[in-house]
Amino acid sequence: MQTSKTLKTRRVRLASSALMALTLACTAAACGGGSDSDGSSADGPTTISVATFNEFGYEDLIDEWNASNDDIQIKQVKVGTWDDAKANLYTKLAAGSGLSDIEAIEGDAMPAIMAESDAFVDLSDPDLDGRWLDWKAAAGTNADGQVIGYGTDVGPESICYRADLFKKAGLPTDRAEVATLMGTWDDYFAAGDEFVAAMPDTAWYDSSGGLAQAMLNQVANPFEADDATVDVENPELEAVYADVTDNVKRGLSSRIPQWSDDWTAQFSNDGFATMACPGWMMGIIEGNSEGVDGWDIANVFPGGGGNWGGSFLTVPAQGDHVEAAQEVAAWLTAPEQQAKAFAAVGAFPSQLEAQDSPEVNEAVNAFFNDAPIGEITAERAAAITVQPFKGPKYSDILSAFQAAILRVDDGSQDPGDSWDQFLTDVDALG
Amino acid sequence: MSTHLPARGGDTEQVSSPRPGGATGGSGLLLLPQPKPWRQRASRLDVTLSPYLYIAPFFILFLVIGMFPLGYTAWVSVHDWSLLGGKGEFVGLDNYRKVLDNPYFTKQLVNTISIFVISSIPQILVALALAGLLDTQLRGRTTWRMSILLPFVVSPVAVAIIFGSLYGDRYGLVNEVLGMVGIDPVAWHTNRLASHVAIATMVNWRWTGYNALIFLAAMQAVPRDLYESASIDGASRVRQFTSITVPMIRPTMIFIIITSTIGGLQIFAEPRLFDGTTARNGGSDRQFGTITMLIYDFGWQLRDLGRASATAWLLFLVICVFAVVNFLLIRRLGAQGGER
Amino acid sequence: MSRRPGFLVYGLLIAFALGSAAPLYWSFLLGSQTKQVAAQGTPPLIPGGHFLANAQRALDSIPFWKALANSMMVSTITACSVVFFCTLAGYAFAKLRFRGNGPLMVVVIATMAVPTQLGVVPLFILMSKLGWAGSIWSVVIPWLVTAFGVFFMRQYLLDAVPDELIEAARMDGCSQIRVFWTVAVPAARPAAAILWLFTFMQVWTDFFWPLIALPPDNPTIQVALNQLQSGYFKDFSLVLAGTTLATIPLLVLFVVAGRQLVAGIMQGAVKG
């Protein structure tokens, strides 16, 4: 017994020293790489971390900056969804440490972030006046006139569609003809009825939640009145809810939650034929559709224009290098850079100058059947007539609303019950 | 398990304390040269103080990281306490009332218990059977033991990702295979019971082998002559297993059940990563949301630490109740088994 | 039950062993396919040739090496700390006579039932006040000692160190601390090794608290995996290649110290 114990001990000691060595090796590797060390040493470059979610199209831009700047290096920190980024953002805001030097904020959440203005650096810079669309600049500025966020992109909505599936269903495939099918939401749904009658195994659109969000972007006061009091029992919201939940019965919805594993998988499995398509969505479609041919984009959005998303870059005050961070944020959101981000992932610039630049205007996307995406997106941006009022609770209520639609979508509740539960959830936001 | 120690400590103290300078106790005094008074005193101090010095680092650290949070959670739970704004007014039991009134609390409590029951009962039965298989004269014993322990080194997050890729509602392998044998696809993320089953399989995969090894250890401690006499009486192997082995390893069963209760009721990683919706609260209608996920939701998504703390305390109470109920239940079942 | 196992027993055990390994194989299998094939749900059962490419993409998507280094550091530091402090306290509880020994041990045992979730809110507030939120120390601190560790070491040392040996050492004039080092520590080694392994694994696999405490650019392996899985761009081949990669360190530990783990679990069971 004694010998076997000694033997065991020796083995464990061996194991632990092996692990120890591995730890040291990893630590050394992480430090030696240089790119992972946060902050700056006395003589080394300052590293500015930029936390993004989804796809910002910054990879090449960061390489470009890092190649030409020795004293400041940029490191991107990618988080998956905005919801995850948001939870992390608030947690680290409360903790007072742990945020990146630059944090990207989803446009819908800016009003809530404004309530925490103290935690962010005022980025006001007279040189940058007039860089952005007026409404975009306004959305990044708080009531005291402090600039909390620099706008990155906007999300003018069009309709992306699978021309190959349209053909199979006997619908027109040319993008101009497709546009004529979708002037209003009723037209769009009617075309959907026709499509699913011919192709019962394929849904008309990708997810009810995504469609609802697209429609909400045409409502002036979706969840809150102009004085920011919560008002979710308004007729416009109820109409969107009714439309979307009725479509579930009509078979138009894929009945899959947006951004879920199944949602991703349906891109490769002919799961649906159309989707609401803000500029930044093009990169996501392309990324998820490896091996799929037939995507195209129509210069139309039912019921007029609409803006979905588009983000901001903010500089949390807790960072160690706020000035360098502001410099980097200003550079990343400069027209030339955002024009390149548009080319990379379709994120449509919120900068006037970028929108007018030939790189954007004349952009053509090979994946979308050589569609003139610059021209289309610019026209979709011009068609935007309504900027919905978004108060501090918008983002949280939207999550509850999406869940309500999903409950009907996946069949776990009927529309009435799900609506009631939505009202309870909104109350619980406190 | 802890009863005999204080008694023994007490006895020794009574024996040793009356002796003059008897810090070192016993016969040492007779053999060693009489120590000088200061050394005696130092030695006595050594004896009386050392134990406290040894346990002090543990208890001081434990006070900070174990006990302080316990009390502080209670303190937070009776205040209005937002994540960003910090402490607000004292609100008494208001947070508890809010949590109990929230329909999700009951729902997620039921989910937690349901996932726990669906996972632990089959897990314990299978682990028992597996231990029975291993408690034989196998060739390559250690290899078999290691092979069933393999899942234990895979983290719950990894388990959830791997199993999650199998349980797609529309495009998952499990549904494809069910389809081949003519079963309709199961809505793993929507149907409440189905989602619990999916999550329970993750838990079971990771823990069954581990529990089987614990059972095996207990089985090997059962005196072998019991089986021999039972064999002579003509009892079958299965009968031997149910009427000798199972009652004899009762304490181990209690141990496993209580530890798996504590662990199982805190389940978080598996259901959270199983969820494909962006809110990640456990399905569109919280079909598989658990209490710990509710703590996270209240505290860090709705940014209300008061309600999160109240929920944490309620979870603690539930765990206590479960531990006691389990204990009593097993003791009764075990006692009946023993009588047979 | 001493008996020769038949084919049935071996057959069932093989089935269990396959069941244990199958999900890991699946993970590798999906991780070795192209994105497109992995998205289909039913890939071929033979691995494709894209594992390294996928793994590379996974490494590019999350700060994997940093996460690995963090996990190693956190797990190693806490495992060493738990072993040290808990052996010391466990020895005192098992072998030394002092006032309050019994009641204090009851306190230790009772706190083993306290869920870690109960401490998350105050820990968060505490770490925020200290300015440690976001650093790996916020994950190390809560694990520095565990009630289980004390309980486990006490149970072991109760029998492993004969009282006579301690008495004899004391008679030779050893101070208490020398007795501890020369008698108790060598005897405690096997249990300490097991406790070390267990703590290491437990901290390695912990998710809830690190998710709250750590930012995405300074994660542990578990938090990084969560990040990998939650992308807008979901790519199963990448996610599962990353998952496989992240599982390798503990698999290595398992290969090296699996026997000890088995022995430890079985030993702990009899003591507990």
Chain C residues lying within 8 Å of B70, measured CB to CB: 114, 118-119
pLDDT attached to residue A413: 92
In this prediction, residue C268 has a pLDDT band, given cuts at 50, 70 and 90, of low
Q: Half-sphere exposure of residue A101, counting CA atoms within 13 Å on the CB side?
A: 23
Where does the pLDDT of residue B244 fall: very low under 50, low under 70, confident under 90, or very high at 90 and above? confident
- Is residue A11 within 8 A of residue C257, CB to CB? The reply is yes
Q: How confident is the model at residue B234 (pLDDT cuts 50, 70, 90)?
A: confident
CA dist A363 and A199 (Å) reads 33
What does pLDDT average to over chain C? 88
Q: How many CA atoms lie within 13 A of A366 on its CB side?
A: 1
Q: What is the mean pLDDT of residues B6-34?
A: 37
Is the pLDDT at B26 greater than 60? The verdict is no
Residue type, C14: I
Share above pLDDT 70 across residues of chain C, in percent, rounded to a whole number: 93
**If DSSP codes are grouped into helix, strand and coil, which group holds residue B2?**
coil
Q: Residue range C150-157: average pLDDT?
A: 89
A275 Cβ under 8 Å from any chain C Cβ: no
- Residue A209, both tokens: 């939640």
Q: Does C176 touch chain A (CB under 8 A)?
A: no
* Res B90 pLDDT > 90: yes
| Chain B residues in contact with C85 (beta carbon < 8 A) | 57-58, 61
DSSP-derived 3-state class of residue B164: helix
Tell me if C210 sits within 8 A of C67, measured CB to CB. Answer: no
CA torsion angle A169 A365 A80 A31 (round to 10) = 150
What is each CA distance from A414 to A193, A245, A405, B186, in whole angstroms? 21, 9, 10, 20
Number of DSSP helices (H) and strands (E) in chain A, helices first: 19, 11
pLDDT at A30: 41
More confident residue, B35 or A371: A371
Mean pLDDT over residues A404-413, rounded?
Answer: 91
- Is the pLDDT at B338 greater than 50? The verdict is no
Burial B276-298 (b: 16+ CB within 10 A, else e): bbbbbbbbbbbbbbbbbbbbbbb
pLDDT beyond 70 at B18: no
The first and second tokens of residue A34, run together, are 């240089």
Residue B213, pLDDT > 80, answer yes
pLDDT (tens digit per residue) in A300-357: 999 989 999 899 999 999 999 999 999 999 999 999 999 999 999 989 999 999 998 9
CA atoms within 13 A on the CB side of A110: 27
Tokens 């006499």 correspond to B229
Region of A270 on the Ramachandran plot (φ > 0 left; ψ -120 to 50 alpha; else beta): left
In B, minimum Cα distance to C222 occurs at: B157
The overall average pLDDT reported for chain A is 88
Mutate to test the interface with C, among A6, A10, A11, A12 (most CBs of C within 10 A): A12
User: What pLDDT is attached to residue C177?
Assistant: 85
Find the mean pLDDT for residues A116-139: 93
Q: If you average pLDDT over residues C222-237, what whole number do you get?
A: 82
Q: pLDDT tens, A352-362?
A: 999 989 989 99
**Other Cβ atoms closer than 10 A to A6:** 13
Distance, in Å, from the CA atom of A275 to the CA atom of A287, rounded to the nearest integer, reads 15
- Beta strand A46-53 pairing with A72-79: parallel
pLDDT at A397: 94
Q: Give me the DSSP letters along C141-181.
A: GGGS--HHHHHHHHHHHHHHS-HHHHHHHHHTT--HHHHII
pTM comes to: 0.86
Distances in Å between the Cα of A270 and the Cα atoms of A182, A340, A367, B175 are: 21, 31, 16, 18
* List of chains touching C (3+ CB pairs within 8 A): A, B
| pLDDT tens sequence across C36-66 | 888 776 788 889 889 999 999 999 888 999 9
pLDDT of residue B328: 82
User: In angstroms, how far is CA B80 from the centroid of its own chain?
Assistant: 32
Which chain C residues are closer than 8 Å to B240 by Cβ? 1
What type of residue is B231? S
What pLDDT sits at residue C172? 84
The 10s digit of each residue's pLDDT in A20-76 is: 454 444 444 443 333 334 444 456 899 999 999 988 999 999 999 999 999 999 999
DSSP H helix total and E strand total for chain C? 14, 0
Going by C-alpha positions, the residue among A137, B334, B166 that lies closest to residue C29 is B166
> What are φ and ψ of residue A294, in 5° steps?
120, -5
Predicted confidence at residue C99, as pLDDT, reads 86
Residue type for position C242: G
Cβ pair C233:A55 closer than 8 A: yes
**Digit-coded pLDDT (tens) for B95-151:** 999 999 999 999 999 999 999 999 999 999 999 999 999 988 888 888 999 999 999
Helix (H) or strand (E) holding C87: helix C64-95
